[in-house]
Amino acid sequence: MAFSSNGFSMFVLVCLVVFCSLSVATCAGNFYQDFDITWGGNRAKIFKAGQLLSLSLDTVSGSGFQSKKEYLFGRIDMQLKLVAGNSAGTVTAYYLSSQGPTHDEIDFEFLGNLSGDPYILHTNVFTQGKGNREQQFYLWFDPTRNFHTYSIIWKPQHIIFLVDNTPIRVFKNAESIGVPFPKSQPMKIYSSLWNADDWATRGGLVKTDWSKAPFTAYYRNFNVTASTSTGAFSDSTWQTNELDAPGRRRLRWVQKYFMIYNYCSDLKRFPGGLPPECKRSRFL
């Protein structure tokens, strides 16, 4: 069979579309094909044939987008370059969520700060509409200078948060002791850039400096390895329940040197006793 250059390109594109439509697939994303801009108008822009997306915040509005598909288990990767300079008062959110009052949610939120001060990476897990499982971290690099990869691995056994493939948090399935775990509600991917100067920076003491607007964050290299239907994985690596030894060492390193808040250590917040999952593992 002979192909012209245009015919061959079309053949490759069709093959990729078919492959990425399977129930389990690993695909590099395209923002035009995979996401809808949901609010903010032209403050959200897609560039470079769908390979780059930006969100902006100004005095009128922020902006946001969401995935066209829902996912039930999988690995989600996205590279972000956060708002540079004085980002105090701004929040860049990147998360998975279902809908409704008993929704499940897996959160990355990047809390802006004054120039020269570090961003705070805020993580949370909601199950059946209930959150209050916050862990916060400083990053070991400047997230505004270059793109870095932020990943969520969501399996029936656990949720792992990763930064540049370094695990920073593991939330284990503790249904055996009565803790709900997100495993039955498919979720979409969401991201937004918005003003939260009533709480985001030093508890709201530092306000957004609107003279620095617009504030802009950039996204690229979205990748998903996920099931869009049954949640069944054929790859045996998806059946592994634990981090390997190097992964556990990196997790301990991050939690020892970069964690700045852990709900499982906040005795004042839970005077009646820590949540039951906190007694299960220090890596929740």
Q: Which residues form the catalytic set?
A: 105, 109
Write the DSSP assignment of 119-172 as a string of letters: PEEEEEEEBTTB----EEEE-SS-TTTS-EEEEEEE-SSEEEEEETTEEEEEEE
Q: Which two tokens stand for residue 159?
A: 């949720």
Q: Distance (Å, rounded) from C-alpha 98 to C-alpha 184?
A: 10
Q: Distance (Å, rounded) from C-alpha 219 to C-alpha 31?
A: 9
Write the DSSP assignment of 16-75 as a string of letters: HHHHHTSSEEEEE--HHHHEEEEESGGGEEEEGGGTEEEEEE-SS--EEEEESS-BSSEE
Q: How far is CA 213 from CA 56, 90, 208, in A?
A: 9, 11, 9
